Structure 1
Amino acid sequence: MLILIKDILPVISMSLIVSLSSTVMAAAAGITIGVLAGLKDFKLKKVMVRLLETLMSTPPVLMGLLVYLLLSRKGILGSLELLFTPTAMIIAQTLLVFPIIIGLTISSTQKQGREIKKNCEVLGASRFKTLLTIIIEMKEQLLTIAATGFGRAISEVGAVMMVGGNIKDHTRVMTTYIALETGKGNFEGAIIIGVILLSISLIINVILHKFRGSEIDEY
Structure 2
Amino acid sequence: MNEIWQGLIEAGRLIATLDADLIEISLRSLQVTVTAVLIASAIGIPFGAWLAVKRFRHRRAAIALLNALMGLPPVAVGLFVYMLLSRSGPFGVFGLLFTPAAMIVAQVFILTPLVASLAHQSMRELWADYHDLLISLGATRRQRIAAIVRDGRRALLTAALAGFGRGIGEVGAIMIVGGNIDHATRVLTTAIALETGKGNFALALGLGFVLIGLAISVNWLVHTLSRTEGGARW
Cα distance in 1 for residues equivalent to 2:223 and 2:47: 25
- CA positional deviation for 1:101: 0.9
C-alpha spacing 1:128/1:46, structure 2 compared with 1 (3 Å): closer
Contact 2:53/2:144 (CA < 8 Å) preserved in 1? no
1:1-219 mapped onto 2 (5 Å cutoff):
5-125=19-139, 127-210=141-224, 211-212=226-227
Cα distance in 1 for residues equivalent to 2:182 and 2:18: 13
- CA positional deviation for 1:124: 4.8
TM-score, normalised via structure 2 length: 0.84
* RCO comparison, higher one (Cα < 8 Å, 6+): 2
- CA positional deviation for 1:171: 0.3
Contact 2:165/2:215 (CA < 8 Å) preserved in 1? yes
Contact 1:84/1:164 (CA < 8 Å) preserved in 2? yes
Contact 2:78/2:176 (CA < 8 Å) preserved in 1? yes
| CA shift digits 1:35-66 (9 cap, x unpaired) | 01111221121221122122111110000000
Contact 2:123/2:149 (CA < 8 Å) preserved in 1? no
Cα distance in 2 for residues equivalent to 1:141 and 1:4: 35
C-alpha RMSD of matched pairs (Å):
2.1
Cα distance in 2 for residues equivalent to 1:187 and 1:200: 20
Cα distance in 1 for residues equivalent to 2:46 and 2:40: 10
Cα distance in 2 for residues equivalent to 1:57 and 1:125: 35
Contact 1:70/1:76 (CA < 8 Å) preserved in 2? yes
Tell me the percent identity: 41
Q: Structure 2: where are the runs of 5+ without partners? A: 1-12, 229-234
- CA positional deviation for 1:188: 2.7
Q: Structure 1: where are the runs of 5+ without partners? A: 214-219
Q: What secondary structure does 1:156 align onto?
A: coil
Alignment correspondent of 1:217: none
Cα distance in 2 for residues equivalent to 1:206 and 1:171: 27
TM-score, normalised via structure 1 length: 0.90
- CA positional deviation for 1:128: 4.1
